[in-house]
């Protein structure tokens, strides 16, 4: 892995800054730029499967020119919409000022570059990304082992609808019913990585099995299972109010059919 350069995407709407950053990344010897785009829509297309780019790290300008995102900078909104998706790259944010640094790291970005870029700063950033890439968590667990009374039940990841924490216990929801687990939600999240979406402090859901997103006033729920909520088999999961927009954005990523408002 050490001999393989990182694959980088640059998302910057000012072409001089974009070209200069591409030059610095390419000159590092650590990474190669596989794409350089000017806006959020192009970035989402570049990162959406089955894109052949296989991006390891995306450098995103905080102040991308884009439609309003409820007052949030377009670059931050882009990272927020993609950070929880499967196979998301590491993110590095870039801006002319450092006032967004705290919010950036709350989003889990690897680094934060303040313009004007320098060769030394970009090199140190790429070394940090490279170290994280080498020490990445092992592949997600191949199977989950749950308990059903005195029996152990072996589950494939694709069978799992959601994980729930309740009364200091942890449960997994599946087509076979609700089963007991010995692991905490945090341990499960670490094992499965971005395959799961945290919709509530007590709930993780498998986004591939989400069939409905329901909003009723200030309350939001997702139905996870087979079929639709009024006729299918599954579980209705509450979405925390402070996560509702992030969850909606994550579910709409790589989907089409409705306006993303």
pLDDT in tens, 131-169: 888 776 555 556 789 999 889 999 988 899 999 999 889
Superfamily of domain 6-134: Response regulator (3.40.50.2300)
Q: Compute the distance between CA of residue 75 and CA of residue 54 in angstroms, rounded to an integer.
A: 20
Q: What is the pLDDT of residue 120?
A: 95
Q: What is the pLDDT of residue 10?
A: 95
pLDDT at 49 over 70: no
Q: Compute the distance between CA of residue 31 and CA of residue 75 in angstroms, rounded to an integer.
A: 22
Q: DSSP code of 139?
A: P
Q: Compute the distance between CA of residue 217 and CA of residue 43 in angstroms, rounded to an integer.
A: 32
* Of 170, 164, 180, 130, the residue nearest 234 (C-alpha): 164
Question: For the chain, where do the domains classified as CATH 3.40.50.2300 start and end?
Answer: 6-134
Superfamily of domain 144-252: LytTr DNA-binding domain (2.40.50.1020)
* Of 126, 146, 71, the residue nearest 103 (C-alpha): 71
Question: For the chain, where do the domains classified as CATH 2.40.50.1020 start and end?
Answer: 144-252
Q: Compute the distance between CA of residue 23 and CA of residue 41 in angstroms, rounded to an integer.
A: 23
Instruction: Calculate the alpha carbon distances from 89 to 84, 109, 220, 227 in Å.
Output: 10, 10, 28, 32
User: Would you place residue 101 in the very low, low, confident or very high pLDDT band (cuts 50, 70, 90)?
Assistant: low
What are the structure tokens assigned to 206, written together? 């498998």
| Helix residue ranges per DSSP H, 28-71 | 40-47
pLDDT at 257 over 80: no
Instruction: Calculate the alpha carbon distances from 85 to 90, 134, 247 in Å.
Output: 12, 21, 10
| Residues counted in the chain | 261
């Amino acid at each position: 892995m050490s001999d393989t350069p990182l694959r980088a995407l640059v998302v910057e709407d000012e072409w001089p800054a974009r070209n200069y950053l591409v030059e610095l990344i390419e000159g590092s010897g650590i990474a190669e730029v596989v794409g350089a785009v000017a806006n959020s829509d192009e970035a989402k297309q570049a990162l959406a499967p089955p894109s052949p780019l296989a991006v390891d790290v995306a450098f995103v300008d905080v102040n991308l020119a884009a439609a309003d995102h409820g007052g949030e900078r377009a670059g931050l909104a882009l990272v927020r919409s993609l950070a929880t998706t499967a196979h998301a790259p590491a993110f590095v944010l870039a801006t002319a000022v450092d006032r967004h640094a705290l919010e950036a790291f709350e989003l889990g970005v690897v680094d934060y570059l303040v313009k004007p870029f320098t060769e030394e700063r970009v090199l140190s950033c790429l070394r940090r990304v490279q170290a994280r890439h080498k020490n990445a968590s092992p592949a997600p667990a191949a199977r989950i082992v749950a308990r059903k009374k005195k029996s152990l039940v072996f589950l494939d990841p694709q069978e799992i609808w959601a994980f729930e924490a309740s009364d200091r216990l942890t449960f997994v929801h599946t087509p076979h019913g609700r089963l007991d687990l010995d692991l905490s939600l945090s341990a499960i999240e670490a094992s499965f990585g971005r395959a799961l979406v945290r919709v509530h402090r007590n709930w993780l859901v498998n986004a591939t099995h989400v069939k409905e997103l329901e909003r009723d006033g200030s309350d939001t729920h997702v139905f996870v299972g087979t079929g639709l909520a009024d006729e299918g088999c599954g579980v209705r999961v509450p979405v925390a109010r402070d996560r509702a927009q992030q969850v909606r954005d994550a579910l709409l990523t790589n989907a089409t059919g409705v306006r993303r408002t």
